[in-house]
Amino acid sequence: MTRLLPAPDALVGRRLDMALSKMLGLSRAKASDLVAQGHVRIMGRRVNKATTLMSGDLIELDEPEPAKQVEPVAEDMPVVYEDEDVVVVDKPVGVAAHPSIGWTGPTVLGSLLQRGTHITSMGAQGRQGIVSRLDAGTSGLMLVCKSDLAYKEMRRQFARHEVVKIYHALVQGNLTEDKATIEAPIGRARVSDFRFTVTPAGKEAITHWDVLERFGSATLVSVNLETGRTHQIRVHFSSIGHPLVGDHMYGANPDLAERLGLKRQWLHAMRLEFRHPRTKIWTKVVSSYPADLRRSLQIERQSASGIRS
Protein backbone atom coordinates (compact mmCIF):
# COMPACT_ATOMS: atom_id res chain seq x y z
CA MET A 1 0.00 0.00 0.00
CA THR A 2 1.48 3.37 -1.08
CA ARG A 3 0.82 6.52 0.94
CA LEU A 4 1.20 9.93 -0.77
CA LEU A 5 2.56 12.80 1.36
CA PRO A 6 2.79 16.35 -0.07
CA ALA A 7 5.92 18.17 1.13
CA PRO A 8 4.93 20.61 3.91
CA ASP A 9 6.08 24.19 3.34
CA ALA A 10 7.75 24.21 6.75
CA LEU A 11 10.03 21.32 5.77
CA VAL A 12 11.04 22.47 2.27
CA GLY A 13 14.84 22.62 2.05
CA ARG A 14 15.35 19.95 4.75
CA ARG A 15 17.03 16.58 4.29
CA LEU A 16 14.55 13.83 3.45
CA ASP A 17 15.35 11.70 6.53
CA MET A 18 14.85 14.70 8.83
CA ALA A 19 11.61 15.69 7.08
CA LEU A 20 10.21 12.14 7.27
CA SER A 21 11.12 11.96 10.96
CA LYS A 22 9.04 15.08 11.61
CA MET A 23 6.15 14.08 9.34
CA LEU A 24 5.77 10.51 10.57
CA GLY A 25 6.79 10.88 14.20
CA LEU A 26 9.68 8.44 13.72
CA SER A 27 13.26 8.51 14.89
CA ARG A 28 15.68 9.87 12.30
CA ALA A 29 17.37 6.46 12.17
CA LYS A 30 14.07 4.72 11.38
CA ALA A 31 13.30 7.29 8.69
CA SER A 32 16.76 6.70 7.18
CA ASP A 33 16.12 2.94 7.16
CA LEU A 34 12.87 3.41 5.22
CA VAL A 35 14.73 5.41 2.57
CA ALA A 36 17.65 2.95 2.42
CA GLN A 37 15.28 0.00 1.98
CA GLY A 38 13.67 1.65 -1.04
CA HIS A 39 10.31 2.32 0.62
CA VAL A 40 10.43 6.07 -0.14
CA ARG A 41 10.35 7.87 -3.50
CA ILE A 42 9.76 11.44 -4.60
CA MET A 43 7.64 11.93 -7.70
CA GLY A 44 8.47 8.33 -8.69
CA ARG A 45 12.25 8.77 -8.59
CA ARG A 46 14.70 7.04 -6.28
CA VAL A 47 16.13 9.10 -3.44
CA ASN A 48 18.59 8.86 -0.56
CA LYS A 49 18.41 10.11 2.99
CA ALA A 50 20.26 13.32 2.14
CA THR A 51 17.94 14.29 -0.71
CA THR A 52 16.69 17.84 -0.24
CA LEU A 53 12.94 18.25 -0.09
CA MET A 54 11.70 20.76 -2.67
CA SER A 55 8.49 22.79 -2.86
CA GLY A 56 5.74 20.81 -4.61
CA ASP A 57 7.42 17.42 -4.02
CA LEU A 58 5.09 14.46 -3.49
CA ILE A 59 6.60 11.79 -1.26
CA GLU A 60 5.57 8.20 -2.03
CA LEU A 61 5.82 5.97 1.05
CA ASP A 62 5.33 2.19 0.86
CA GLU A 63 3.48 0.96 3.95
CA PRO A 64 3.06 -2.74 4.77
CA GLU A 65 -0.44 -4.14 4.64
CA PRO A 66 -1.83 -4.41 8.18
CA ALA A 67 -1.35 -7.93 9.50
CA LYS A 68 -4.59 -9.87 9.47
CA GLN A 69 -5.64 -11.46 12.72
CA VAL A 70 -5.49 -15.20 12.20
CA GLU A 71 -8.42 -16.81 13.97
CA PRO A 72 -7.45 -19.82 16.07
CA VAL A 73 -8.85 -23.14 14.86
CA ALA A 74 -10.97 -25.35 17.12
CA GLU A 75 -8.82 -28.44 16.59
CA ASP A 76 -10.90 -30.54 19.00
CA MET A 77 -14.24 -29.88 17.25
CA PRO A 78 -15.49 -33.21 15.83
CA VAL A 79 -17.59 -33.43 12.68
CA VAL A 80 -20.35 -35.94 13.47
CA TYR A 81 -22.26 -35.76 10.19
CA GLU A 82 -21.33 -34.41 6.76
CA ASP A 83 -22.46 -34.68 3.16
CA GLU A 84 -22.57 -32.34 0.15
CA ASP A 85 -25.29 -30.20 1.72
CA VAL A 86 -24.78 -29.96 5.48
CA VAL A 87 -22.16 -30.45 8.16
CA VAL A 88 -23.01 -31.05 11.83
CA VAL A 89 -20.27 -30.44 14.38
CA ASP A 90 -20.08 -31.28 18.08
CA LYS A 91 -19.10 -27.80 19.25
CA PRO A 92 -16.82 -27.64 22.30
CA VAL A 93 -17.34 -25.02 24.98
CA GLY A 94 -15.33 -21.85 24.30
CA VAL A 95 -16.06 -21.85 20.57
CA ALA A 96 -18.42 -19.20 19.18
CA ALA A 97 -20.76 -19.90 16.27
CA HIS A 98 -19.30 -17.12 14.10
CA PRO A 99 -17.03 -14.06 14.38
CA SER A 100 -18.35 -11.08 16.33
CA ILE A 101 -17.02 -7.81 17.72
CA GLY A 102 -14.77 -8.41 20.70
CA TRP A 103 -14.52 -12.20 20.21
CA THR A 104 -10.93 -13.38 19.65
CA GLY A 105 -11.38 -17.12 20.16
CA PRO A 106 -12.16 -19.84 17.61
CA THR A 107 -15.50 -20.04 15.80
CA VAL A 108 -17.41 -22.89 14.18
CA LEU A 109 -17.54 -21.10 10.82
CA GLY A 110 -13.91 -20.01 10.82
CA SER A 111 -12.65 -23.42 11.90
CA LEU A 112 -14.63 -25.20 9.17
CA LEU A 113 -13.38 -22.77 6.51
CA GLN A 114 -9.77 -23.11 7.64
CA ARG A 115 -10.12 -26.90 7.49
CA GLY A 116 -11.10 -26.52 3.84
CA THR A 117 -14.82 -27.24 4.23
CA HIS A 118 -16.91 -25.61 1.51
CA ILE A 119 -19.64 -23.40 2.97
CA THR A 120 -22.40 -21.69 1.02
CA SER A 121 -21.97 -17.94 0.54
CA MET A 122 -25.62 -17.40 1.46
CA GLY A 123 -26.27 -15.55 4.69
CA ALA A 124 -24.90 -12.39 6.27
CA GLN A 125 -21.17 -11.70 5.90
CA GLY A 126 -19.30 -13.62 8.56
CA ARG A 127 -22.36 -15.77 9.25
CA GLN A 128 -22.74 -17.53 5.91
CA GLY A 129 -24.24 -20.99 6.07
CA ILE A 130 -25.43 -20.58 9.66
CA VAL A 131 -29.13 -21.11 10.32
CA SER A 132 -29.01 -21.82 14.08
CA ARG A 133 -26.42 -20.90 16.73
CA LEU A 134 -25.10 -22.04 20.09
CA ASP A 135 -23.63 -19.73 22.75
CA ALA A 136 -19.86 -19.94 23.19
CA GLY A 137 -20.53 -21.30 26.70
CA THR A 138 -22.84 -24.07 25.42
CA SER A 139 -21.50 -27.29 23.91
CA GLY A 140 -23.11 -29.73 21.52
CA LEU A 141 -24.54 -30.20 18.05
CA MET A 142 -24.67 -27.34 15.56
CA LEU A 143 -25.60 -27.55 11.87
CA VAL A 144 -23.97 -25.45 9.12
CA CYS A 145 -25.10 -25.43 5.49
CA LYS A 146 -22.66 -26.21 2.69
CA SER A 147 -24.96 -25.75 -0.31
CA ASP A 148 -27.36 -22.99 -1.32
CA LEU A 149 -30.17 -25.55 -1.48
CA ALA A 150 -29.50 -26.60 2.12
CA TYR A 151 -29.35 -23.01 3.37
CA LYS A 152 -32.75 -22.14 1.91
CA GLU A 153 -34.44 -25.35 3.09
CA MET A 154 -32.86 -25.55 6.56
CA ARG A 155 -33.59 -21.91 7.20
CA ARG A 156 -37.22 -22.65 6.37
CA GLN A 157 -37.29 -25.71 8.66
CA PHE A 158 -35.77 -23.82 11.59
CA ALA A 159 -38.11 -20.85 11.05
CA ARG A 160 -41.15 -23.14 11.06
CA HIS A 161 -39.92 -25.08 14.12
CA GLU A 162 -39.77 -28.33 12.16
CA VAL A 163 -36.30 -29.21 13.45
CA VAL A 164 -36.16 -31.21 16.69
CA LYS A 165 -33.57 -29.70 19.07
CA ILE A 166 -33.02 -31.63 22.29
CA TYR A 167 -30.75 -30.25 25.02
CA HIS A 168 -29.76 -31.64 28.39
CA ALA A 169 -29.46 -29.12 31.22
CA LEU A 170 -28.64 -29.31 34.90
CA VAL A 171 -30.80 -26.79 36.75
CA GLN A 172 -30.55 -25.66 40.35
CA GLY A 173 -32.97 -27.04 42.92
CA ASN A 174 -35.56 -29.79 42.80
CA LEU A 175 -38.21 -29.21 40.13
CA THR A 176 -41.66 -29.90 41.53
CA GLU A 177 -43.01 -31.53 38.35
CA ASP A 178 -41.67 -34.37 36.22
CA LYS A 179 -42.47 -32.56 32.98
CA ALA A 180 -43.86 -29.18 32.01
CA THR A 181 -43.83 -26.42 29.42
CA ILE A 182 -42.57 -22.87 29.91
CA GLU A 183 -44.32 -20.47 27.58
CA ALA A 184 -43.12 -16.89 28.10
CA PRO A 185 -41.98 -14.22 25.61
CA ILE A 186 -38.30 -13.26 25.63
CA GLY A 187 -36.69 -9.93 24.82
CA ARG A 188 -33.55 -7.94 25.64
CA ALA A 189 -33.08 -6.92 29.25
CA ARG A 190 -32.82 -3.18 29.85
CA VAL A 191 -29.92 -3.63 32.27
CA SER A 192 -27.56 -5.09 29.64
CA ASP A 193 -27.14 -5.54 25.88
CA PHE A 194 -25.99 -9.11 26.50
CA ARG A 195 -28.81 -10.31 28.74
CA PHE A 196 -32.32 -11.37 27.87
CA THR A 197 -35.41 -11.62 30.03
CA VAL A 198 -39.06 -12.67 30.07
CA THR A 199 -41.04 -9.62 29.01
CA PRO A 200 -44.49 -9.00 27.48
CA ALA A 201 -42.74 -7.03 24.73
CA GLY A 202 -40.57 -10.01 23.75
CA LYS A 203 -40.92 -12.67 21.07
CA GLU A 204 -42.86 -15.90 21.57
CA ALA A 205 -40.74 -18.58 23.28
CA ILE A 206 -41.80 -22.13 24.19
CA THR A 207 -39.66 -24.62 26.13
CA HIS A 208 -40.75 -28.21 26.96
CA TRP A 209 -38.84 -30.16 29.59
CA ASP A 210 -38.78 -33.63 31.20
CA VAL A 211 -36.90 -34.65 34.33
CA LEU A 212 -34.15 -37.23 33.74
CA GLU A 213 -32.55 -37.41 37.18
CA ARG A 214 -32.97 -35.72 40.57
CA PHE A 215 -30.15 -34.90 42.99
CA GLY A 216 -31.91 -32.66 45.49
CA SER A 217 -29.68 -29.64 45.02
CA ALA A 218 -30.06 -29.91 41.23
CA THR A 219 -32.19 -31.61 38.56
CA LEU A 220 -31.06 -33.02 35.22
CA VAL A 221 -33.63 -32.32 32.49
CA SER A 222 -34.16 -33.01 28.82
CA VAL A 223 -35.28 -29.86 27.02
CA ASN A 224 -37.15 -29.69 23.72
CA LEU A 225 -37.05 -26.21 22.19
CA GLU A 226 -40.14 -25.42 20.17
CA THR A 227 -38.77 -21.95 19.41
CA GLY A 228 -35.16 -20.80 19.26
CA ARG A 229 -34.71 -17.47 21.02
CA THR A 230 -31.32 -16.26 22.19
CA HIS A 231 -30.54 -17.68 25.68
CA GLN A 232 -34.03 -19.23 25.70
CA ILE A 233 -33.29 -22.21 27.98
CA ARG A 234 -31.19 -20.09 30.33
CA VAL A 235 -33.80 -17.33 30.59
CA HIS A 236 -36.81 -19.63 30.95
CA PHE A 237 -35.38 -21.76 33.77
CA SER A 238 -34.10 -18.65 35.56
CA SER A 239 -37.59 -17.15 35.30
CA ILE A 240 -39.10 -20.07 37.27
CA GLY A 241 -36.41 -19.90 39.96
CA HIS A 242 -34.22 -22.74 38.65
CA PRO A 243 -31.27 -21.20 36.76
CA LEU A 244 -28.83 -23.51 35.02
CA VAL A 245 -26.00 -24.63 37.27
CA GLY A 246 -22.96 -22.48 36.52
CA ASP A 247 -24.95 -19.78 34.72
CA HIS A 248 -23.91 -16.77 36.81
CA MET A 249 -25.37 -14.30 34.29
CA TYR A 250 -28.86 -15.58 35.10
CA GLY A 251 -28.57 -16.00 38.85
CA ALA A 252 -26.87 -19.35 39.44
CA ASN A 253 -25.26 -20.05 42.81
CA PRO A 254 -21.46 -19.81 42.30
CA ASP A 255 -20.82 -22.10 45.28
CA LEU A 256 -22.64 -25.01 43.62
CA ALA A 257 -20.72 -24.51 40.37
CA GLU A 258 -17.44 -24.42 42.28
CA ARG A 259 -18.32 -27.63 44.14
CA LEU A 260 -19.02 -29.34 40.82
CA GLY A 261 -15.90 -27.92 39.15
CA LEU A 262 -17.96 -26.06 36.53
CA LYS A 263 -16.64 -22.98 34.73
CA ARG A 264 -19.70 -22.48 32.48
CA GLN A 265 -23.43 -23.18 32.37
CA TRP A 266 -24.38 -26.87 32.39
CA LEU A 267 -26.05 -27.05 28.98
CA HIS A 268 -25.42 -29.39 26.06
CA ALA A 269 -27.13 -29.67 22.64
CA MET A 270 -27.72 -33.41 22.74
CA ARG A 271 -29.80 -34.36 19.72
CA LEU A 272 -30.68 -32.81 16.37
CA GLU A 273 -33.35 -34.18 14.04
CA PHE A 274 -34.27 -32.69 10.67
CA ARG A 275 -35.53 -33.60 7.22
CA HIS A 276 -32.55 -33.74 4.89
CA PRO A 277 -32.81 -30.76 2.52
CA ARG A 278 -32.06 -32.80 -0.61
CA THR A 279 -33.14 -36.40 0.06
CA LYS A 280 -36.04 -35.50 2.40
CA ILE A 281 -34.97 -38.41 4.64
CA TRP A 282 -35.56 -37.80 8.37
CA THR A 283 -32.05 -37.48 9.79
CA LYS A 284 -31.02 -37.85 13.44
CA VAL A 285 -27.65 -36.90 14.97
CA VAL A 286 -26.77 -37.60 18.62
CA SER A 287 -23.99 -36.30 20.87
CA SER A 288 -22.63 -37.30 24.28
CA TYR A 289 -21.59 -35.25 27.31
CA PRO A 290 -18.15 -33.63 27.23
CA ALA A 291 -15.69 -34.35 30.04
CA ASP A 292 -16.51 -31.35 32.27
CA LEU A 293 -20.24 -32.09 32.28
CA ARG A 294 -19.70 -35.82 32.90
CA ARG A 295 -17.39 -35.05 35.79
CA SER A 296 -19.84 -32.62 37.41
CA LEU A 297 -22.67 -35.17 37.16
CA GLN A 298 -20.49 -37.80 38.80
CA ILE A 299 -19.74 -35.44 41.69
CA GLU A 300 -23.42 -34.61 42.08
CA ARG A 301 -24.45 -38.28 42.01
CA GLN A 302 -21.89 -39.15 44.67
CA SER A 303 -23.04 -36.23 46.81
CA ALA A 304 -26.71 -37.17 46.45
CA SER A 305 -25.93 -40.81 47.24
CA GLY A 306 -24.09 -39.80 50.38
CA ILE A 307 -27.03 -37.71 51.56
CA ARG A 308 -29.52 -40.57 50.97
CA SER A 309 -27.37 -43.11 52.78
Answer whether residue 308 shows pLDDT above 60: no
> Which residues, 6 or more positions from 132, have their beta carbon under 8 angstroms from its beta carbon?
142, 143, 158, 163, 165, 228
What is the predicted pLDDT for the residue at 153? 98
Beta bridge partners of residue 154, listed in sequence order? none
User: Which domains, and CATH codes, for the chain?
Assistant: 2-62 (3.10.290.10), 71-156 (3.30.2350.10), 161-309 (3.30.2350.10)
Q: What is the pLDDT of residue 8?
A: 87
What is the value of pTM for the model shown?
0.76
Q: How far is CA 229 from CA 188, 204, 207, 208, 291, in A?
A: 11, 8, 10, 14, 27
| CA angle, 125 then 269 then 227, to 5° | 70
> At 180, which amino acid appears?
A
In whole angstroms, what is the distance from residue 77 CA to residue 3 CA?
43
Q: How confident is the model at residue 307 (pLDDT cuts 50, 70, 90)?
A: low
For 227-257, the pLDDT digits (tens) are 989 999 999 999 999 999 999 999 999 999 9
Cα gap 302→172, rounded to integer Å: 17
Provide mean pLDDT across the span 68-86: 89
Q: What single-letter DSSP state applies at residue 124?
A: S
Mean pLDDT of 136-143: 97
Which of these is catalytic: 90, 135, 210, 247?
135
Residue with the larger pLDDT of the pair 120 and 29: 120
- Cross-strand bridge partners of residue 198: 186
Q: With contact defined as beta carbons under 8 Å apart, do 250 and 240 qualify?
A: no
pLDDT digits (tens, 9 = 90+) for 287-296: 999 999 999 9
Mean pLDDT taken over the chain: 92
How much of the chain exceeds pLDDT 90, in percent? 75
pLDDT score, position 69: 64
* Residue environment code for 121-140, b if the CB has 16+ CB neighbours within 10 A, otherwise e: ebbeeeebbbbbbbbbbbbb
Question: Taking residues 133-154, what's their average pLDDT?
Answer: 97
pLDDT (average), residues 100-126: 91
Per-residue pLDDT band at 166 (split at 50, 70, 90): very high
Q: Which stretch of 62-66, 114-118, 181-185, 263-267 has the lowest confidence by average pLDDT?
A: 62-66
* Backbone φ and ψ of 28, nearest 5°: -65, -35
Euclidean distance between CA atoms 90 and 134, whole angstroms = 11
Tell me, what's the pLDDT at 251?
A: 95
Which 3 state secondary structure label does DSSP give 76?
A: coil
Amino acid identity at 228 = G
Verify whether residue 210 is a known catalytic residue.
no
**Which one is predicted more confidently, 222 or 66?**
222
pLDDT of residue 186: 96
Taking the C-alpha atoms of residue 256 and residue 57, their distance in angstroms, rounded to an integer, is 71
